Amino acid sequence: MVITIPKVLSEHELKQYREHLQSADWESGLNSAGEQSVHVKQNLQLNPEGKLAQQLGEHILQVLSEAAKFFSAALPLKISPPMFNCYQNNGHYGWHVDNAIRIIPGTPVRLRTDLSATIFLNDPSEYEGGELCIKDTYGEHQIKLQAGDMVLYPSTSLHQVLPVTKGQRLASFLWIESMVRDHEQREILFDLDQNIQVLGTEHGLDNPQVVSLSALYHRLIRLHVDT
């Protein structure tokens, strides 16, 4: 399931990000490409071990720790340090699947990539092309969100970034190891939680049916979560 989460970053935060990224020292995205992706990847990235990438990444992790919809959708156990990329001058990233395991830089910690995420850092009116295309059981999705919005999707999905033919596309991307490995189970828990939130708003969190559904949700969490 492809899930969009609006306004992960505020306009004020985005302005600060843009100011930093416009003067950043970008390097070839091939520096982090694997054996397969090296043939289809043409973009720029920040050095993940650089001070700017680490500072911005730490801020994103703090923001995500307070984002209720992100937690509900991902049920995160581990989150990779966010990385940053730039597409321009027909830059693109052909069809590929993300590696199943990633090592968190500077640590021995391994992360299973259950979910991939992209946060768009500038408005779609500022560039042409650059759609994130994701293939799943429901077909192909072309995604181009407003600045500050996030898209979350299974890392098993075949996906690509179309060429940016005009302007510049800036984004942050990261991976999540979920407490619930199975995608279908995680989707069911997310749908249930979102409906509980809606019913709680409409009828009150102390409504007997809302309380009963909340209890059911937490029973399912205990059954399926692996910490």
Question: The tokens of 145 are what?
Answer: 């969100």
Is residue 12 part of an annotated ligand binding site? no
Confirm if 34 and 175 have CB atoms less than 8 A apart. Answer: no
Tell me if 177 sits within 8 A of 114, measured CB to CB: yes
98 is in an annotated binding site: yes
Q: Which of 172, 173, 168, 218 is nearest to 192 (CA)?
A: 218
- 181 a known binding residue? no
Count, residues in the chain: 227
Say if residue 141 carries a ligand binding annotation: no
d(CA 13, CA 29): 25
| Token duo for residue 217 | 């949700």
Q: How far apart are CA 45 and CA 67, in angstroms?
A: 26
Give CA–CA dist 22/14, Å, rounded.
12
**Of 159, 151, 43, whose CA–CA distance to 94 is shortest?**
159
Number of H helices, E strands in the chain: 5, 16
Residue with tokens 């307070």: 66
Taking alpha carbons only, the member of 173, 163, 167, 170 closest to residue 125 is 167
C-alpha count within 13 angstroms, C-beta hemisphere, residue 74: 28
Task: Give the residue numbers of the binding site for 2-oxoglutarate.
Answer: 169
Task: Give the residue numbers of the binding site.
Answer: 96, 98, 159, 169
Task: Give the residue numbers of the binding site for Fe cation.
Answer: 96, 98, 159
